[in-house]
Amino acid sequence: MKRTFEVQPWNVVSHDLNQDDKRLQESMTSLGNGYMGMRGFFEEDYSADTLQGLYLGGVWYPDKTRVGWWKNGYPEYFGKAINAVNYIKMNIAINGEKVDLATDEISDFSLDLDMKNAQFTRSFTVTKGAAKVAFKFERFLSIEIQELSVQRVSINNLSDAAVDVTVDANMNADVVNEDSNYDEHFWSTLSTKQELDRASLVTKTTPNPFGTPQFTVAVEQRFVTDLAPKAVEQPAADEVSNEFVGSLAAGATTTIEKRVVLTTSRDYDTEAALTAAVQEIGDKVAGISYDDLFAAHAAKWAARWEIADVTIEGSDEAQQGIRFNLFQLFSTYYGDDSRLNIGPKGFTGEKYGGATYWDTEAFAIPVYLGVTDPSVTKNLLKYRYQQIEGAYHNAKQQGLKGALYPMVTFDGIECHNEWEITFEEIHRNSTIAFAIYNYTHITGDKSWVQGDGSEVLIGIARFWADRVHYSALKDKYMIHGVTGPNEYENNINNNWYTNYMAKWVLQYALEILPDVDDKNAAKLAVTDAEKTKWQEIIDKMYLGEADYEGKHIFVQHDTYLDKDLTPVAELDPANLPLNQKWSWDHILRSPYIKQADVLQGMYYFIDNFTEKEKADNFNFYEPLTVHESSLSASVHSIIAADLHMEDKAVEMYERTARLDLDNYNNDTSDGLHITAMTGAWLSIVQGFAGMRVRNDELHFAPFLPKAWDKYHFRFYFRGRLLEVAVDKAGSSVTLLKGEPLTIDLDGQKLELK
């Protein structure tokens, strides 16, 4: 844990430039607009350690799989979101000497990420001999015009004499990923064009042997400044540059704006169309001031916050935490493009390859359902529907029927490269179905599950019906050889979560089938024999249960209870975190749980279990859980809240709410935990406020954390927008928009009008 930023309600601010924390600061000050995003690395060259990352949604490259020993059926590549053309560069020289914060004498340094308006501001004063100059760098990625990045640098001469200022603004397409297998160069430049006051380039991903799409990117930089443009040589084959010079009198200030427009072949067919679009957008914004561009951007953010903001009084840490989470989540994805999804690190780092995981369905969709228009979630559902051919392919690769959604993907085809994940962590498949259920349940819109969504659901059901096997010994259907949500175990049998969810998928499929629209019903052609088989599997699905030390346990997998069940609290803390201290085999055979496993399933269907079942399983599993996944804490917080274990619920909330702000796992330097950004919201809404939908009725049973004075959030439900406020006096629910509704608050029916 390390807190390097100040606690402010709407801002993430630091006044320190510590070289050791540079990557951490870059992660924390990332910006994104769904279309593209970047780490908070500096415009000007910085000669110490830095991780320069600038990513474009849906632009990826297949990194050839390399493993010790090849296994039949392995995906041939691991898809990775790749670093794209670095278009924010602006090198500055004062009196001919380059500004470099790694070596310069600086003062008044500050970083300020304004979450309300999604702008990143950096300011500092550099002293170079007699010259003393103050800089302010501002930038934002417009959510009004997603192809647009806007930067402004203000330069104020604090010296007693004039200084010469040079700004060398360039764009460099010769970029690589740190975290790739082969230090591949993904990009080759197709063309460059360098004019006196603007420059552009077109770059394309290199061909690959796997037949995945190549991407072309066109990008142009233009400027608004009083500085004088100066003709320069093109710096290198993959780079373009514009230089601006001027003399700044003592006390004077000047500014230079850099506007970059970027288009990709995801949206335009030809190179000509790409460059034409760049010109068109560039021309359009040329006549608009920075302030007006910014105002349009900020207005759209204000509309997001209008619905989504959660206010917390009494804890500035908590207030900053929830806003940082929602800000980074929305910066990554706001439903604008159904071809995109939410990488575990969004646009803030390279880890996990920027691809789509089950995190989206399990953790992100419940939040989007609450605080964004249903169309946002719908696009996430469409994403999976559009990739169903890939899911059929994945199942076929395993010799199985139906659809297997991948653990990691860009296009539906599985592209992870460990057998214990790719082949075995198949519980992910059920989460895709659960998201359809969740959407239907919260929005009340059945058209998706009865229409195109039915193909996804039935495909997943067919996978499970083929993946189970019948154990003659036990007269049960079983699922052997899986990895559950707890990735600290591999290749286990009858993971309770996996079996429970598979059974639920079959049940839900049978429930939905009669209402599927004619077109899809004809296409799916589910036979009576299939339905009979599904029902048999449902009836005979093996779900391990046991009584253990007075508790009735849903057993994580067949032999879990045979382990040495020493609680985490009794371990010498020198062993923690396990993933850094123990060899992999030691972790695997230990009882320690990385993230909620049985409890994940109980969380999804929390009302299906008795108080005793919830309490017994929580009290059994939680002490064995090390929470070494960022996705663990929120589920525990919610179940603890359900069990009125308020201290535990708050403790777990605190582990998720400021995960990155306080660098809890000491890995935020790699990038933010974007899909875990949902945890705080889920903990507050489903945990502290006890939001449930029971028999189509919305329920709340709120409590207020001891340290807080008040919290307040808004929530979409079946066409309505509700507001929930909880303070020391009690709680209230208000209908802000939509038809009247009856809800349940603390067991009392409430008519909302």
The single residue among 588, 606, 693, 750 that binds a copy of itself, judged by CB under 8 A, is 588
Beta carbon of residue 344, minimum distance to a copy of itself (angstroms, whole number): 14
454 secondary structure, DSSP code: H
Binding of a copy of itself by 561 (CB under 8 A): yes
The single residue among 68, 287, 573, 740 that binds a copy of itself, judged by CB under 8 A, is 68
Binding of a copy of itself by 474 (CB under 8 A): yes
Active-site annotation holds for 739: no
Beta carbon of residue 75, minimum distance to a copy of itself (angstroms, whole number): 10
Extended beta strands in 373-499, E state:
469-471, 476-478
- How many angstroms separate the first and last alpha carbons of the chain? 46
Is there a binding annotation on residue 359?
yes
The single residue among 317, 558, 723, 744 that binds a copy of itself, judged by CB under 8 A, is 558
Q: How far is CA 744 from CA 81, 610, 640, 711, 740, in A?
A: 45, 20, 21, 19, 13
Considering the complex, state which of residue 271 and residue 558 has its C-beta at the smaller distance from a copy of itself: 558
Cβ neighbours, 10 Å, residue 700: 22
Is there a binding annotation on residue 345?
no
Tell me the sheet residues that pair with 550.
none
Considering the complex, state which of residue 583 and residue 695 has its C-beta at the smaller distance from a copy of itself: 583
Handedness of CA 589, 590, 591, 593 (dihedral sign): negative
Q: How far apart, in whole angstroms, are the C-alpha atoms of residue 544 and residue 494?
A: 7
Binding of a copy of itself by 72 (CB under 8 A): yes
Beta strand pairing call for 77-83 and 36-38: unpaired
Considering the complex, state which of residue 101 and residue 478 has its C-beta at the smaller distance from a copy of itself: 478
Cβ neighbours, 10 Å, residue 213: 15
Binding of a copy of itself by 69 (CB under 8 A): yes
* Nearby residues of 280 by Cβ (< 8 Å), 6 or more positions away: none
Q: Which one from 239, 361, 424, 487 is the annotated catalytic residue? A: 487
Q: Quick one: which segment of 59-67, 212-220, 626-634, 645-653 binds a copy of itself (CB under 8 A)?
A: 59-67
Burial class (CB in 10 A: 0-12, 13-18, 19+), 515: exposed
Considering the complex, state which of residue 269 and residue 564 has its C-beta at the smaller distance from a copy of itself: 564
Q: How far apart, in whole angstroms, are the C-alpha atoms of residue 351 and residue 81?
A: 9
Q: What's the residue count for the chain?
A: 753
Which residue from 325, 438, 323, 331 is spatially nearest to 377, judged by alpha carbons?
A: 438
| Helix/strand/coil for 745 | strand
Cβ neighbours, 10 Å, residue 546: 11
The single residue among 3, 284, 519, 589 that binds a copy of itself, judged by CB under 8 A, is 589
| Helix/strand/coil for 133 | strand
Binding of a copy of itself by 493 (CB under 8 A): yes
Per rule CB under 8 A, count of chain residues that contact a copy of itself: 54
CA gyration radius, the chain:
27
Considering the complex, state which of residue 325 and residue 494 has its C-beta at the smaller distance from a copy of itself: 494
Cβ neighbours, 10 Å, residue 472: 7
Binding of a copy of itself by 159 (CB under 8 A): no
Binding of a copy of itself by 519 (CB under 8 A): no
Binding of a copy of itself by 666 (CB under 8 A): no
Considering the complex, state which of residue 246 and residue 402 has its C-beta at the smaller distance from a copy of itself: 402
Considering the complex, state which of residue 233 and residue 564 has its C-beta at the smaller distance from a copy of itself: 564
Q: Quick one: which segment of 109-117, 194-202, 272-280, 477-485 binds a copy of itself (CB under 8 A)?
A: 477-485
Considering the complex, state which of residue 82 and residue 312 has its C-beta at the smaller distance from a copy of itself: 82
Restricting to residues 387-426, which ones interact with a copy of itself according to CB under 8 A? 397-399, 416-420, 423-424
Q: How far apart, in whole angstroms, are the C-alpha atoms of residue 457 and residue 520?
A: 11
Is there a binding annotation on residue 706?
no
Is there a binding annotation on residue 320?
no
The single residue among 109, 268, 548, 703 that binds a copy of itself, judged by CB under 8 A, is 548
Binding of a copy of itself by 567 (CB under 8 A): no
* Nearby residues of 366 by Cβ (< 8 Å), 6 or more positions away: 438, 678, 682, 686
Q: How far apart, in whole angstroms, are the C-alpha atoms of residue 652 and residue 230?
A: 57
- Sketch the per residue contact string, 169 through 198, with a copy of itself: x for CB under 8 A, - otherwise: ------------x-----------------
Interface with a copy of itself (CB under 8 A): 65-69, 71-74, 78, 181, 397-399, 416-420, 423-424, 469-474, 478, 480-481, 490-494, 548, 558-559, 561-565, 579-589
Active site residues: 487
Annotation: binding site: 358-359, 594-595
Annotation: binding site for substrate: 358-359, 594-595
